[in-house]
Structure 1
Amino acid sequence: MGFKIRYSILVVLLFAVFPNIGKAVDGYRLVCDKPVFDFGTVGQSAVITNVFTIRNEGDLTFPVKYVRTSCGCTKGQVDKRMIGPGETARVSVVYTAARRKGPQKKNIWIMAMNSPEPALVLTITGLVKVP
């Protein structure tokens, strides 16, 4: 049997035994189709709520450590602690406009158990008018 035939048989066997060989492992990869929510113009008495839908497009489960926000006026919470490949989760955000004025931009970071960097950044923006 020639070298080319033996090599071809080896390659076919490897792909049969290890079907994922040659495919890159993505890990987890969170995405959001609408990562920015503009709440428009509101007064200082407003309490704004929004729900972002996020999705794991990777091939590993995403372990949620916590949701961090850029300001105490904004609170975020995710409805799942583990987001499997192909699964979605909802991130509920509440922004309180009290004692704020002018243009506002608040970030919401979704943090993983095994990384100090955010896996996804969501943003709410708007304008708070003072009476």
Structure 2
Amino acid sequence: MLTFFAYGLAIVLNLFIVFIGARFLLAPQAAAAGYGVPEQHTPYLTVKGVRDLTYGLVGLALLAFAGAPAEAWFMLVVAVAPFGDTLIVLRNGGSKATAYGVHFATAITVLISAALLFAL
């Protein structure tokens, strides 16, 4: 059961970040609003889209071809991004609810995923 849950959570998180990356590339203003910063089209939104899409695809590739230990280390390291996103939203006048409820919660969920994968 732990294996199913650990792999399932990792797959969902990676697919979710692929979706977010694609959203920043295809609908940048809407994605920026969901991110928690003022809506404006800047090259940053495209950069964020490419970054997130890449993170998700790398995570899926690691899980498929390298296994749980590699994915666990990846999740541990990549948790830096949503922690950083939390600070970006707070420092740029975004709502605390978005900063903590979306980004900080995501970082914690990614760390939980790493812990579950390390436990396998």
Is TM > 0.5 for Structure 1 vs Structure 2?
no
Larger proportion of strand:
1
Radius of gyration: which is bigger? 1
**Normalising by structure 2, what TM-score?**
0.26
**Normalising by structure 1, what TM-score?**
0.25
Larger proportion of helix:
2
